A and B are shown apart, each in its own frame.
Chain A
Amino acid sequence: MNRFKQNKLAIFGLTVLGFFVILAVLAPVLAPYDPSEIVESDTLPPSLRHPFGTDDLGRDVFSRALYGARISLTVGLVAVSISIMIGTILGLLSGYYSGLIDSTIMRFVDIMLAFPSIFLILTIQVMLTPSIYNVMIVIGLTSWMGVARLVRGEVLTIKERQYVEAARAIGASNARIIFRHILPNSIAPIIVAGTLGMAGAILTESALSFLGLGVQPPTPSWGNMLMDAQAYLVDAPWMAVIPGILILLAVLNLYFVGEGLREAFSPREEIK
């Protein structure tokens, strides 16, 4: 933890993200207007009354950005939780039971990775009704492969450690060895992967919403705010710039935190 604290970039990232989370949680209190209410004439530039201006329908962009943060961050968090859960369980099984189970799971991972994921997501989204819940689930279901490989690799080294053999020698069952001895020792890379994965999930959500198959209007998300903006890039650039910067900041700072955690957990930088 100390090494994480010494990483200024990571601390900065954590602060910005914390700030975002507070804004998202307090959105109903902080937002001056209802995000879907038409409050003024359209495409007004930023002013004191509307700090981020208004959009093509005359809605307050600041309020929409606040509510959009809720959606985008939630989608990121839930999607990553799903992918971490699937990836960790499959990775644990694959690494612990070598042989047929391992080959089956890893070939399945290869198949999933061979699909261009954005097309896979789009296809599924077209078949289902696009809703924010489907977005979370679909992103989660198509992004666990990296985690599974990572966890498998970790398990392969940990299961050869002597304390695993010692646990077996006192009569611990396979399930007990996997979840009590191997999982806690491989948690560090999982956390790192989760942080970086959340950045990816936010980007995917934005891309999906931008393409119109993600979060549906009038619910604001940073992605569909961008989509609304594309016709007004010249007349109302703030409509695109604001959500764009927010996505950039969220993703960039998640990477800072992820890298900070990775460095803090990495044993080879122990001596300093």
Chain B
Amino acid sequence: MLKIKKLTVKYGTDVQAAKDVDLEIRKGEIVGLVGESGSGKSTVALSILKLIGYPGQVKSGEILWNERDILKMGNEELRKLRGGGIAMIFQDPFSSLNPVFTIGDQIEEAVKLHGGDDAVTLLDAVQMPDPESTAKKFPHELSGGMRQRAMIAMALAGRPKLLIADEPTTALDVTIQAGILKLLKELQAKLGMSVLIITHNLALVYGFCDRVCIMKEGRIVERGSVEDIFRNPKEPYTRELIDAIPRPRWK
């Protein structure tokens, strides 16, 4: 469904944030893109929606969405794709919601652009407690987890085929993280969409993703099913990442 071929993105003239990245996401699949800060994972995610801003620039490569190159799309087509075909949720739910509008208004905005269910139904779908009164609340009145649920509701408004989640749980408590991941998984199964999850936490990938790509310094250094990566990591870097997962040691 989505095929990235030899994507190279540069910031300025010499910083290469992504080098010859190949990535494929099939229908109904959950793919994890894992790497340390600065490894280029968010750059890849933003490129998919052509949201790379100055001074970033896609130097070469193709991003094929149902055989159409996103990088060659015009503005009108891009707007339909963003939110309609591919939606994105961001790392920080505290700054991703506009402080001057209610939750309901912001979700309705996405609905207005792409059609779909109304805000309350969507909030209900993301298991927001008391969706009716929440829709009338402002972002600062919600907790981090509730805000991230509101963001997911917004992303779902256009019934996307692919959801890109850029570190969706990094800013949240561990217990809330688990709830959000469970919700994403349930929604994915129910709606049959694909999910690209970006994270620096390899532990999060386990039990959530079908396939994993490990990124380092702009390159995908290893890829494979979750089983393979955890049982039999080929790259020393992947092993380091696995070793970096904290495990409680009982004595």
Least CB distance from B207 to A in Å reads 27
A19 at the interface (CB under 8 A from B): no
Least CB distance from A187 to B in Å reads 8
Q: Tell me whether A168 and B51 are in contact in the complex, defined as CB-CB below 8 angstroms, given that A162-B95, A163-B98 are known contacts.
A: yes
> Across chains A and B, which 6 residue pairs bring their CB atoms closest together, nearest first?
A170-B83, A171-B82, A171-B83, A162-B95, A171-B79, A169-B88
Chain A interface category by residue count: 10 to 19
Mark contacts of A79-99 with chain B using CB atoms, 8 A cut-off: 1 yes-contact digit, 0 otherwise.
000000000000000000010
Task: Tell whether, in the assembled complex, residue A169 and residue B51 are in contact, meaning their CB atoms are under 8 Å apart.
Answer: yes
Measured in the bound complex, the distance between the Cα atoms of B106 and A181 in whole Å is: 10
Selected from B49, B78, B96, B109, the residue in CB contact (under 8 A) with A162 is B96
Mark contacts of B12-50 with chain A using CB atoms, 8 A cut-off: 1 yes-contact digit, 0 otherwise.
000000000000000000000000000000000000010
Q: Which residues of B142-178 are within 8 A (CB) of A? A: 151, 154-155, 157-158
Measured in the bound complex, the distance between the Cα atoms of B101 and A184 in whole Å is: 9
Number of B positions contacting A (CB below 8 A): 31
A166 at the interface (CB under 8 A from B): yes
A235 at the interface (CB under 8 A from B): no
B218 at the interface (CB under 8 A from A): no
Measured in the bound complex, the distance between the Cα atoms of B99 and A184 in whole Å is: 10
Selected from B79, B87, B95, B110, the residue in CB contact (under 8 A) with A161 is B95
A180 at the interface (CB under 8 A from B): yes
Task: Tell whether, in the assembled complex, residue B82 and residue A168 are in contact, meaning their CB atoms are under 8 Å apart.
Answer: yes
Mark contacts of A204-248 with chain B using CB atoms, 8 A cut-off: 1 yes-contact digit, 0 otherwise.
000000000000000000000000000000000000000000000
Mark contacts of A156-174 with chain B using CB atoms, 8 A cut-off: 1 yes-contact digit, 0 otherwise.
0000011101111111110
Task: Tell whether, in the assembled complex, residue B92 and residue A162 are in contact, meaning their CB atoms are under 8 Å apart.
Answer: yes
B84 at the interface (CB under 8 A from A): yes
A185 at the interface (CB under 8 A from B): yes
Selected from B84, B87, B98, the residue in CB contact (under 8 A) with A167 is B98
Task: Tell whether, in the assembled complex, residue A185 and residue B100 are in contact, meaning their CB atoms are under 8 Å apart.
Answer: yes
Is chain A's interface secondary structure helix, strand, loop, or mixed overall?
helix
Task: Tell whether, in the assembled complex, residue B109 and residue A170 are in contact, meaning their CB atoms are under 8 Å apart.
Answer: yes
Task: Tell whether, in the assembled complex, residue B151 and residue A166 are in contact, meaning their CB atoms are under 8 Å apart.
Answer: yes
Selected from A163, A166, A171, the residue in CB contact (under 8 A) with B158 is A171
Instruction: Closest B residue to A181 by CB, please name it.
Output: B98
Q: Which residues of A148-197 are within 8 A (CB) of B? A: 161-163, 165-173, 180-181, 184-185
Least CB distance from A46 to B in Å reads 51
B97 at the interface (CB under 8 A from A): yes
Measured in the bound complex, the distance between the Cα atoms of B91 and A169 in whole Å is: 13
Measured in the bound complex, the distance between the Cα atoms of B157 and A171 in whole Å is: 12
Instruction: Closest B residue to A169 by CB, please name it.
Output: B88
Q: Across the interface, which residues of A come within 8 angstroms of B95, CB to CB?
A: 161-163
Instruction: Closest A residue to B99 by CB, please name it.
Output: A185
B80 at the interface (CB under 8 A from A): yes
Instruction: Closest A residue to B84 by CB, please name it.
Output: A171
Q: Across the interface, which residues of A come within 8 angstroms of B109, CB to CB?
A: 167, 170, 172, 180
Task: Tell whether, in the assembled complex, residue A166 and residue B96 are in contact, meaning their CB atoms are under 8 Å apart.
Answer: yes
Q: Across the interface, which residues of A come within 8 angstroms of B154, CB to CB?
A: 166, 170
Measured in the bound complex, the distance between the Cα atoms of B231 and A39 in whole Å is: 104
Q: Across the interface, which residues of A come within 8 angstroms of B97, CB to CB?
A: 163, 166
Least CB distance from A101 to B in Å reads 14
Task: Tell whether, in the assembled complex, residue B155 and residue A170 are in contact, meaning their CB atoms are under 8 Å apart.
Answer: yes
Q: Which residues of B48-83 are within 8 A (CB) of A? A: 49, 51, 54, 75, 78-83
B223 at the interface (CB under 8 A from A): no
- 8 more contacts with CB within 8 A, not counting A163-B96, A172-B109, are A163-B98, A165-B51, A170-B158, A171-B83, A171-B84, A171-B113, A173-B79, A185-B98
**Would you give 19 A-B contacts (Cβ < 8 Å), ordered by A?**
A161-B95, A162-B90, A163-B95, A163-B96, A163-B99, A165-B90, A166-B90, A166-B151, A169-B49, A169-B51, A169-B82, A170-B83, A170-B113, A171-B82, A171-B113, A173-B75, A181-B98, A184-B98, A185-B100
Least CB distance from B102 to A in Å reads 12
Q: Which residues of B97-154 are within 8 A (CB) of A? A: 97-101, 109-110, 113-114, 151, 154
Measured in the bound complex, the distance between the Cα atoms of B53 and A98 in whole Å is: 12
Instruction: Closest B residue to A161 by CB, please name it.
Output: B95
Q: Across the interface, which residues of A come within 8 angstroms of B79, CB to CB?
A: 171-173
Selected from A161, A162, A167, A171, the residue in CB contact (under 8 A) with B81 is A171
Measured in the bound complex, the distance between the Cα atoms of B99 and A161 in whole Å is: 11
Q: Across the interface, which residues of B come within 8 angstroms of A172, CB to CB?
A: 79, 109, 113
Q: Across the interface, which residues of A come within 8 angstroms of B51, CB to CB?
A: 165, 168-169
Task: Tell whether, in the assembled complex, residue B87 and residue A169 are in contact, meaning their CB atoms are under 8 Å apart.
Answer: yes
Least CB distance from B167 to A in Å reads 12
Task: Tell whether, in the assembled complex, residue A184 and residue B100 are in contact, meaning their CB atoms are under 8 Å apart.
Answer: yes
Q: Which residues of A76-128 are within 8 A (CB) of B? A: 98
